[in-house]
Amino acid sequence: MIYTTRKTLLEAIKDGEEISWHEFYATYRPLIILRGSDFQLTADEKEELVQLVLLEIFHKRKSFQYDRNRGRLRDYLRKIIGGKAVDILRKRKNNHVSADVLDYWPDKDSLLEQSWEKEWQGHLWTQALEILRNRLKPVTFQAFELHVINEKPAEKVALFLNISVNMVYVAKSRSVKNLRTIIRELQDII
């Protein structure tokens, strides 16, 4: 289930929907891991970051109020991930391991902000693809995925899916049109 129209995933978690934690993990883990790289965390620290962020959201879920006028989900997550990453760096410093990143942390704000913007946009695109998968007929999505994402020749895709070559191009055209709409919707919601 993809949360696109009525409520955000965070709101679903707040409501105690069981499936939501798994979906939250699957949806946001890549983004958190990527953000961990901006803070120069090690692979283990990035996994720790994922856990800390999820636990923080678990603890704060009941007080979570999504209000577009008060701040976007993007900013809410950025603050939580950033705060936890700094906690990990502080812990590293206490353990007398190199904490250079923390030392010049204040000057990195604008760079980190730019990275976050890029990462968040990337996250939206990956989510858009998942939503597209649910919106299209399986064969249409498969044709799009094989031909466009996996860059397989239209002829081979057509043969594999037992459709005409023209249908592969129709699938591509339909997918692009839908993707534009989905991206607009996502930017509007979150």
Partner 1 sequence: MKHYTREELDRYRNKDMNFILRLMCRVHLCVCPLCRRQMTDLQHDDALLTKLKDSLNMLKVEPNVATYQKICSTIHDLVNKESSE
Answer for the pair 1, 19: CB distance below 8 angstroms, yes or no: yes
112 binds partner 1 (CB under 8 A): no
At closest approach, how far in Å is the CB of 25 from partner 1?
A: 6
Tell me the C-alpha distance between 46 and 36, whole Å: 5
114 binds partner 1 (CB under 8 A): no
Tell me the C-alpha distance between 128 and 179, whole Å: 6
128 binds partner 1 (CB under 8 A): yes
Query: Sign of the C-alpha dihedral, residues 89, 94, 97, 102?
Result: positive
Size of the site for partner 1 (CB under 8 A): 37
- One DSSP character per residue, 90-141 reads HHHHHTTS--HHHHTTGGGHHHHHHHHHHHHHHHHHHHHHHHHHHHS-HHHH
139 binds partner 1 (CB under 8 A): no
189 binds partner 1 (CB under 8 A): no
Q: Which of residues 59-88 bind partner 1 (CB under 8 A)?
A: none
Q: Which of residues 143-172 bind partner 1 (CB under 8 A)?
A: 148-149, 154-155, 165-166, 169-170, 172
Q: Which of 101, 129, 186, 189 binds partner 1 (CB under 8 A)?
A: 129
Range in contact with partner 1 (rule: CB under 8 A) among 30-38, 63-71, 80-88, 89-97: 30-38
First and final CA of the chain: distance in angstroms?
Answer: 17
